[in-house]
A and B are shown apart, each in its own frame.
Chain A
C-alpha cells in the first residue's frame, strides 16, 4: 500500500473541485475529509515520506501522537466546514478552503522546518481568499492587511529556520527553545499567527470580514497550527505562561463592548488561545495534554459558534448585536445549537470545554502558578459572560428586533448538529479524547469539587449578568468602531509617517528639478562644443574651410619660394 501524505488528497480534491459543478463537486467535497480520515487511520505509526530537494531531505510526513491527533482534528474541522459551505456556489471559496485545510494538514505532519514553512505560506495565501470572497470593500482591505501580516510571519519564520539550519546543520522540527536568536525569530513568527498580545489584531480585524463559511475554516486552522508548533518547539518556555494569561484576559474586555457578534467570537478565540499558550508554557505532560485537548475542543465549539453566527448573518444579512434579537422565534434550531456551543466554550460540566480547560487549570496549580490560576479563573468567568451569555442573548433573545426569518439550509444545520454532538460527546465521554492525547496521564475531570466549583463560578457569573442588566449598568450594544492595536498601523503610523512622506516627496521633487537643470546645462555645453562653429564640431562652416585652404595655399607658396 502506498503512503499518501494527508495533504495530498486535499490538494488533488481541490483540483477536481475546480473543474466540476453541482452534485459531483458536492460529492468530492464531502468525500475528501472522510477518505482523508480513513487514510490517516490506515497509515502505519512509523509512516514517513521524504523527498530530496537541492541536497536537502524534506520530510513530508512524520507521524507521532501529537501530529496524528491534530490530523484527525483537521479532518473533522474540514468535514464540518465543507458541509456548512455545501450550498455555496463559489469555486474560489471551495477550492481555497480545501487547499487551506490541506496545507494545515501538511504543516502538522511536516517533519522538518522547511516543509513546515512551505505549508505555513500556502496557508496564508489560500486563507486570504476566504476573506476576499466576501466581496465587500471592507473585506478587501482587511484581507490585504491580513495577508501582509501573514507574510511577515512567514518571512520571520524563514529567517529563523535559515539561521537554525546554519547553526545546527539540522532542519528537524523538534524542540527549538529560546536559547538562540533564531529561536526568538521562530517564536515571534509563531506568535504572530497564534495571536500573541499586540500581535493579535489581524485576527479580530479579518475574521469577522470573511464570508459566513470562510470564518468557520479560518477559525479552525491557522491559529491551531501555531499552537501545535508552539507545543512542539517551545514547551516549557515560562515566558509563554505570562503571554498566554495576558491573551486570556485582555480580549474579554473588548468582547464585552464589541457589537459585531462575529468579532466578539474572534476576541474569545484569542482568549481561548491564551489558555492553550499557558498550557504550552507550563510544559508539564498534563499541561501539554491540556493545551492540545483544548485546541481540539476549541476548534469544534468555536466552529459551532461561528457557524451559528454565520447562519444568522446568512439568513438576516446582519451581525451587529444592536440590530439583532428575538431570533429564537424563527430560528429555534440554530438557537439551541448556539447554546450548546456557548455552554461548551463556557466549560459547563458535560460539555467539551469543561474536560479540556480544567487540565490546564489543574496543571497551573500543580506547578504553583497561583496568581496565573486566579487570572485564568477570572478569564473563565469572563468567557461565560461574553461568549456564553452575550452571543446567544443578543442574537436570539434580548429585545425583539422584528426580524422574521427561518432556520438556515439543511446542510448548515447538519454541520452545526455534527459539531454540537461532538461537543456533548467529548463532554460526556472525555476518555475518548484523553486516550489520543500526546502523553499518558491519568486525569479525572468529573469529581464533586470540580463540578461544584465550576457551577458556582458560572452560575454566579450569570447572576452578575442578570443583575448588571437589570441595573442598567450593562453597556448597550452600540453601532461603533472600537479601536484595537490595528489602529497603530491603520491610523497612527500613517499619521506619523505623513510628515516624513511629505518631506520625501518634497526632496524627491527638488532632486528631480535639480537633475533636470544639470541635464539642461550639460546639453547646453555639449551643444556649444559640438554645434555649428563649436570647437569639437564635425560640421565645419564654409568660412573655416576657405580659411584653411588659404592657409594651405600660403604655406605651399612659402615653401615653393625656397
Chain B
C-alpha cells in the first residue's frame, strides 16, 4: 500500500508558522495603536488597547458562558428523534 501523501498541515512546523504569523500580526496592530492617532467617538475608545482587550476578553467570556450554558441545554443526540419520529430500522438518518 502506498504511503499517503503528506499534506500542508501534517507537518507541525507549518502549523507553528501559521501561529507565529498570527502572533506577529497581532503584535503589529498592537504596536500600531501606540503610533497611529485614532479619532474617537465612543468614550471607551480612548482607553489604551481598548479594541484588542475587548476582543480577547469578549471572546473568552463568550466561550466560558457558552460552556456553562451548554450544561443546562444539552440533551442526548436522539432527544427529539426518539419520540417525534418512527424508529429507523438500520436506516442512516442523515442522508444528503
Within 8 A of A (CB), among B6-42: 7-9, 19, 22-23, 25-26, 29-30, 32-33, 36, 38-39, 41-42
Q: What's the nearest-Cβ distance from chain B to residue A216, in Å?
A: 13
Q: What's the nearest-Cβ distance from chain B to residue A215, in Å?
A: 11
Given A452-B36, A453-B51, A478-B74: A328 touches B63 (CB 8 Å cut-off)? no
Contact A458 B79 (CB under 8 A): no
Contact B44 A374 (CB under 8 A): yes
Q: A511 an interface residue at 8 Å Cβ cutoff?
A: no
Option from B57, B62, B73, B81 in Cβ contact (under 8 Å) with A483: B73
Closest to B19 in A: A466
Interface size class of B (residues with CB under 8 A): 35 or more
Q: A274 an interface residue at 8 Å Cβ cutoff?
A: no
- A 451-472 to B, binary, CB cutoff 8 A, 1 in contact else 0: 0111111111111111110000
Which A residues touch B47, using CB under 8 A?
A: none
Interface size class of A (residues with CB under 8 A): 35 or more
Within 8 A of A (CB), among B55-96: 55-60, 62-67, 69-70, 73-81, 84-86, 88, 92-96
Contact B63 A136 (CB under 8 A): no
Closest to A323 in B: B94
Contact A462 B22 (CB under 8 A): yes
Which stretch of A14-22, A180-188, A377-385 is in the interface? A377-385
Within 8 A of B (CB), among A213-259: 252-254, 256-257
Q: What's the nearest-Cβ distance from chain A to residue B68, in Å?
A: 9
Contact B85 A141 (CB under 8 A): yes
Contact B77 A479 (CB under 8 A): yes
Q: A493 an interface residue at 8 Å Cβ cutoff?
A: no
Contact A452 B84 (CB under 8 A): no
Q: Is the interface of A mostly helix, strand, loop or mixed?
A: helix
Q: A481 an interface residue at 8 Å Cβ cutoff?
A: yes
Q: A314 an interface residue at 8 Å Cβ cutoff?
A: yes
Contact B51 A457 (CB under 8 A): yes
Contact B56 A464 (CB under 8 A): yes
Q: What's the nearest-Cβ distance from chain B to residue A285, in Å?
A: 18
Given A138-B85, A370-B43: A328 touches B53 (CB 8 Å cut-off)? no
Given A212-B96, A381-B54, A460-B55: A480 touches B74 (CB 8 Å cut-off)? yes
Q: How far is the CA of A397 from the CA of B19 in the complex (A)?
A: 14
Q: What's the nearest-Cβ distance from chain B to residue A201, in Å?
A: 12
Option from B23, B42, B60, B64 in Cβ contact (under 8 Å) with A365: B42
- Which of B43, B51, B88 has the largest count of A CB atoms less than 10 A from its CB? B51
Contact A317 B9 (CB under 8 A): no
Contact A459 B95 (CB under 8 A): no
Closest to A366 in B: B41
Contact A481 B80 (CB under 8 A): yes
Which A residues touch B59, using CB under 8 A?
A: 381-382, 385, 460-461, 464-465, 468
Which B residues touch A254, using CB under 8 A?
A: 66, 69
Option from A137, A256, A381, A484 in Cβ contact (under 8 Å) with B66: A256
Contact B51 A449 (CB under 8 A): no
Q: How far is the CA of A430 from the CA of B8 in the complex (A)?
A: 34
Within 8 A of B (CB), among A466-516: 466-468, 473-475, 478-484, 490
Contact B19 A475 (CB under 8 A): no
Closest to B81 in A: A138
Which B residues touch A475, using CB under 8 A?
A: 63, 66-67, 70
Contact A252 B62 (CB under 8 A): yes
Closest to A463 in B: B26
Option from B5, B54, B65, B76 in Cβ contact (under 8 Å) with A377: B54
Q: Give 17 new A-B contacts, CB below 8 A, not counting A453-B51, A473-B64.
A: A136-B95, A137-B85, A254-B66, A254-B69, A313-B96, A317-B92, A366-B41, A381-B54, A452-B38, A455-B29, A462-B26, A463-B26, A464-B57, A465-B59, A468-B59, A482-B70, A482-B73
Interface residues of chain B, those whose CB is within 8 Å of chain A, are: 5, 7-9, 19, 22-23, 25-26, 29-30, 32-33, 36, 38-39, 41-45, 49, 51-60, 62-67, 69-70, 73-81, 84-86, 88, 92-96
7 A-B residue pairs with CB within 8 Å:
A257-B74, A381-B54, A449-B38, A456-B49, A456-B52, A464-B56, A475-B67
